Amino acid sequence: MTDRLSAARATRRWRKTARQGLLEKSHDGVLSRRELAHLGWDSHAIDREVEAGRWRCPGRLTVALHTAPLSFEAECWRAVFEVGEGIALVDGVTSLQVAGLKHFEEPFIHVSVPHTAKVPDVGGVVIHKIRHRHDFERWSRSGLPRTVPPVAAIRAAHWAVSERQAATVLMMGGQQRLYSPAWLAETRIVIRGRNRRKFIDDIIRAVEDGIQALGEFDITELCRRRGLPPPTHQIQRRGPNGRIYLDIGWEDIGLFLEIDGAGHTWGVNTSHDHLRANAVTLQKGTVLRMDIIGVRLMGEEFMDQVCAAHALLTARRKGAVA
């Protein structure tokens, strides 16, 4: 009897130690049944832990080594396990979020699989079938199976619910330095997608030209329609405390446009904007201000002012040269 009790205690101690070791090997608290089997935990051992209330199974092939809600990273691993290890890659906006994309909300986990793959539907996961899986598109470092950022961004744009969302995700990835404009453009040569091809090509060219926000893209398109020369983006000037950057403008005539997003009204941002505009004025430049909502709703009225200012300053420059 004593021997049996000692053996039972030893077994419990071993299991406790083994569970702690599993946590260190897990993917933020989750492992696949295949991985657990490789580590010596068969289905009966897993069932014992689940029945004891220590573990839970958030999927047919996924085991959580706890009973709390899964983290974002763990949800991504669950998606890979359930859709198919070796087949599925976390892709689209989800891959960008793993890479560090901030301030973009998406309730689902997006994964891609080859179009010939037969995979099950998985709750909370959007499965995209792609025609080609290229060697370069997989993030080569160890960890979560996912696509590299420019591939993820282009596919996210094709899978977006609207052109506005497509443009937003492409520009946000560039703004947050997840990829360079050159890397994005190079990737676009191969990753083409099936829908809104021309629109995405236009956005990528805009990113290459230095456009960093949708407001800049909108106003640049309006300038093109009005026949104005292409403006320069992210213009560097000297301010009271060092370098300042203006959204777009024409340096040759001293006309600059500032497009204010929602963030411009937060805290002291408005004061900083005023200081920046005043610094340009002191250097004999002209700054026209507009907000992103205004550009969308009253773009033509704003463009009337831009065209008038451009014509006036162009005439002044020609007069000064003459």
Lowest mean pLDDT among 20-24, 93-97, 137-141, 235-239: 235-239
Of the three residues 20, 47, 64, the one that is the final residue of a domain is 64
Residues 97 and 113 in one domain: yes
Residues whose CB falls within 8 Å of the CB of residue 237, separated by 6 or more in sequence, listed in order: 243, 244, 245, 246, 279, 280, 283, 285
Predicted pLDDT of residue 207: 84
Tally of domains within the chain: 3
Residues 234 and 289 in one domain: yes
Residues 228 and 263 in one domain: yes
Q: In terms of DSSP bridges, do strands 232-239 and 125-130 run parallel, antiparallel, or are they unpaired?
A: unpaired
Residues 130 and 155 in one domain: yes
Residues 186 and 86 in one domain: yes
Predicted pLDDT of residue 12: 65
Predicted pLDDT of residue 267: 41
Residues 76 and 201 in one domain: yes
Of the three residues 29, 64, 99, the one that is the final residue of a domain is 64
Residues 85 and 195 in one domain: yes
pLDDT tens digits, 93-119: 999 999 999 999 999 999 999 999 999
**Mean predicted confidence (pLDDT) in 70-80:** 98
Residues 85 and 18 in one domain: no
* pLDDT of 145 strictly over 90: yes
Amino acid, single-letter form, for residue 70: L
Of the three residues 151, 175, 208, the one that is the final residue of a domain is 208
pLDDT tens digits, 30-59: 999 999 999 999 999 999 999 999 999 999
Report the CATH number at residue 221: 3.40.960.10
Percentage of residues in the chain having pLDDT higher than 90: 61
Residues 260 and 191 in one domain: no
Most confident range, picked from 78-87, 138-147, 215-224: 78-87
Residues 160 and 84 in one domain: yes
Predicted pLDDT of residue 1: 56
CA dist., res. 206 & res. 222, Å (int): 13
**Secondary structure (H, E, C), the chain:** CHHHHHHHHHHHHHHHHHHHHHHHHCECCEEEHHHHHHCCCCHHHHHHHHHCCCCECCCCCEEECCCCCCCHHHHHHHHHHHHCCCCCEECHHHHHHHHCCCCCCCCCEEEEEECCCCCCCCCCEEEEEECCCCHHHECCCCCCCEECHHHHHHHHHHHCCCHHHHHHHHHHHHHCCCCCHHHHHHHHCCCCCCCCHHHHHHHHHHHHCCCCCHHHHHHHHHHHHCCCCCCEEEEEEEECCEEEEEEEEECCCCEEEEEECHHHHCCCHHHHHHHHHHHHHHCCCEEEEEEHHHHHHCHHHHHHHHHHHHHHHHHHHHHHHC
| Look-up of token digits 């497509």 | 166
pLDDT tens digits, 193-239: 999 999 999 889 888 877 767 778 888 889 999 999 999 988 887 76
Residues 86 and 52 in one domain: no
Residues 172 and 81 in one domain: yes
Q: State the residue range of the domain holding 189.
A: 72-208
**Mean predicted confidence (pLDDT) in 14-37:** 87
Q: Contact at 8 Å (CB) between 129 and 87?
A: no
